[in-house]
Chain A
């Protein structure tokens, strides 16, 4: 059976239209572009929290107080950050953000976490056996932390049929290891209204 020209073209066009929906599409976007898909915790939330926390932490008096008293930069260690929310949240990204900004500010020293320390110590034990005398790093010379950063993230979710109000609260606390004093408390709240679709294809 022969099709006339316009008809064949139309079929081709339709086929193209159908097929275009099948291919995987990738569009690059900037890391700071806001793109909310499901309403769950995402990179934008993580960034907003870390930016706010860093700015707040550095302008508070605890750093200056410590320098005035001890004459050195305070050494900080990251303790446990607990996720007490309704979602599985990766807290590592914003801890890394906080750590990077504080170290780069040059006003605070960061001490490796308990997990990282184990690996470094293993390396020192290995150096003790295998490295040349002049390059060997002795044990017992670690920098003890002055403060520990602890925190938690909590959520409150209210819902009615397909609508949700999601409230996130991130609390960070800096505690002095010498005397358990809390020298800084940071808090960031995020609130979202999520309307879920009632219909699908």
Chain B
């Protein structure tokens, strides 16, 4: 009997080792990412649609589908998916006791995925960007108001400053207000963005974009906040900027560079086989792996001007910070699960040794980390603004590698800039090398 027991235990260990290479949610995205790196968006969409999505992962499907359609230039269709995703988030915001119980008995991945706070914010932002690229400014403004509401609600949940204020959300809101001619609202949003950068800087490197410094100077001067304006002048050391009136007489190109892909959640597990006579214990926790950054920034060449993009949103760092914030809760649930599964197998083992082992086995096999996240998000969002007299322009964009060398060229011919209007262009580039993981 003792021989059989140790034999089964050895078998269990081997099984667990095999299992470690077994598919988790995040691995399922790899083929789609590979298609994206090949710039085959049709292929990526076909792969996504062919996947069998279980109901609990529906949000991820909608978010990924919306993102792929967007990358394909189908902004209206993309917004339909994002809208469905937002409605689903709203529904999933209520707590399900049934799912919580299952999560405690099996694993966290059995719950419906409701999106991390930063992902919910990004849903609104990408909807706003889709509307901006469709030229529907008032609809984009609706999204800006909704983001404000969402951030307020996240603030109520007391998740910390990283999730109740978002520098890029505030910045995009300011851009929208500036485009609709609401100067004072724009100033308030620029100021909130500035505050958000300061709050985020405490947690990860989030340098204040120089563009935002110029915007703060322009907006504060435009609404007549002269004291605040002179503080900004002293702080940023800039005393020359384009005034609001000058900007309104010109057209403005707003170029957004969505760089690569967000980090990947992987499973890290620990097995404790050496408890004398006791059942095996396994704890599996999710952890993020950063992807390789193939591009550092984009360089815009338009009408003899050369402008480089700056990082406005570091999604990579936000994702990692979010998991870090959540870790105590994940660990607590995992510990509770270990105890529950241990009790169950002990109970079964009292009645029948083999039954105890089987319960132990199923408990070990089902202990998986929840590796779900919105993986088609970029690692970072970069932005550059160029104001030019009204007219038609050809835009050339050079994507630079981490050493500042030219990696890829993009062309956008015949961009028509109208006085007082903003023209939004987005480019989301995934290079083949960015599929590689990078250790911290």
* A88 B142 Cβ-Cβ under 8 A: yes
Instruction: Determine the chain B residues whose CB is within 8 A of the CB of A82 once the complex forms.
Output: 138
CB-contact partner of B97 in A88, A197, A199, under 8 A:
A199
0 or 1 for each of B57-101: is its CB under 8 Å from A? (1 = yes): 000000000000000000000000000000000111111111000
Binds B, one of A68-76, A94-102, A154-162: A154-162
* A159 B142 Cβ-Cβ under 8 A: no
Tell me, yes or no, whether A85 is within 8 Å of chain B by CB: yes
Given contacts A159-B156, A161-B156, contact A86 B93 (CB under 8 A): no
* B141 A84 Cβ-Cβ under 8 A: yes
Tell me, yes or no, whether B135 is within 8 Å of chain A by CB: no
Q: Which of B121-160 contact A (CB under 8 A)?
A: 138-139, 141-142, 145-146, 149, 152-153, 156
Tell me, yes or no, whether A83 is within 8 Å of chain B by CB: yes
Query: Which B residues are closer than 8 A to A by beta carbons?
Result: 90-98, 138-139, 141-142, 145-146, 149, 152-153, 156
* B142 A87 Cβ-Cβ under 8 A: yes
B377 to chain A, nearest CB (A): 23
0 or 1 for each of A159-189: is its CB under 8 Å from B? (1 = yes): 1111000000000000000000000000000
Instruction: Determine the chain B residues whose CB is within 8 A of the CB of A159 once the complex forms.
Output: 149, 152-153, 156
Tell me, yes or no, whether A136 is within 8 Å of chain B by CB: no
* B138 A84 Cβ-Cβ under 8 A: yes
* B156 A160 Cβ-Cβ under 8 A: yes
0 or 1 for each of A9-42: is its CB under 8 Å from B? (1 = yes): 0000000000000000000000000000010000
* A200 B142 Cβ-Cβ under 8 A: no
Count of chain A residues near B, Cβ 8 A: 20
Given contacts A85-B145, A88-B139, contact A200 B96 (CB under 8 A): yes
CB-contact partner of A197 in B94, B138, B142, B156, under 8 A:
B94
Instruction: Determine the chain B residues whose CB is within 8 A of the CB of A157 once the complex forms.
Output: 149
Instruction: Determine the chain A residues whose CB is within 8 A of the CB of B139 once the complex forms.
Output: 83, 88
Q: In the docked arrangement, what's the CA distance between A83 and B153, Å?
A: 23
A153 to chain B, nearest CB (A): 10
B320 to chain A, nearest CB (A): 28
12 additional contacts (CB under 8 A) given A88-B142, A162-B93? A82-B138, A83-B142, A84-B138, A85-B145, A86-B146, A87-B142, A159-B152, A160-B156, A161-B156, A199-B94, A200-B92, A201-B98
Q: In the docked arrangement, what's the CA distance between A199 and B145, Å?
A: 26
Instruction: Determine the chain A residues whose CB is within 8 A of the CB of B90 once the complex forms.
Output: 38, 196
Q: In the docked arrangement, what's the CA distance between A196 and B156, Å?
A: 15
Instruction: Determine the chain B residues whose CB is within 8 A of the CB of A85 once the complex forms.
Output: 142, 145
B111 to chain A, nearest CB (A): 12
* A198 B94 Cβ-Cβ under 8 A: yes
* B96 A86 Cβ-Cβ under 8 A: no
Q: In the docked arrangement, what's the CA distance between A194 and B437, Å?
A: 45
Q: List 26 A-B contacts (CB under 8 A).
A: A38-B90, A82-B138, A83-B139, A83-B142, A84-B141, A85-B142, A85-B145, A86-B142, A86-B149, A87-B142, A88-B139, A88-B142, A155-B145, A157-B149, A159-B152, A160-B156, A196-B90, A196-B94, A198-B94, A199-B94, A199-B96, A199-B97, A200-B91, A200-B92, A200-B95, A201-B98
Q: In the docked arrangement, what's the CA distance between A196 and B91, Å?
A: 9
A133 to chain B, nearest CB (A): 42
Instruction: Determine the chain A residues whose CB is within 8 A of the CB of B142 once the complex forms.
Output: 83, 85-88
Residue of A nearest to B153 (CB): A159
0 or 1 for each of A51-82: is its CB under 8 Å from B? (1 = yes): 00000000000000000000000000000001
* A83 B138 Cβ-Cβ under 8 A: yes
Q: In the docked arrangement, what's the CA distance between A82 and B149, Å?
A: 20
Q: In the docked arrangement, what's the CA distance between A86 and B96, Å?
A: 28
B180 to chain A, nearest CB (A): 9
Instruction: Determine the chain A residues whose CB is within 8 A of the CB of B145 once the complex forms.
Output: 85-86, 155
Residue of A nearest to B83 (CB): A88
Q: In the docked arrangement, what's the CA distance between A30 and B263, Å?
A: 51
Instruction: Determine the chain A residues whose CB is within 8 A of the CB of B152 once the complex forms.
Output: 159
Instruction: Determine the chain B residues whose CB is within 8 A of the CB of A198 once the complex forms.
Output: 94-95
* A196 B93 Cβ-Cβ under 8 A: yes
Q: In the docked arrangement, what's the CA distance between A155 and B139, Å?
A: 14
Residue of A nearest to B96 (CB): A200
Q: In the docked arrangement, what's the CA distance between A162 and B91, Å?
A: 12
* B94 A200 Cβ-Cβ under 8 A: yes
Q: In the docked arrangement, what's the CA distance between A159 and B94, Å?
A: 16
Residue of B nearest to A155 (CB): B145
Residue of A nearest to B91 (CB): A200
Residue of B nearest to A86 (CB): B145
Residue of A nearest to B143 (CB): A88
Given contacts A86-B146, A86-B149, A159-B156, contact A199 B138 (CB under 8 A): no
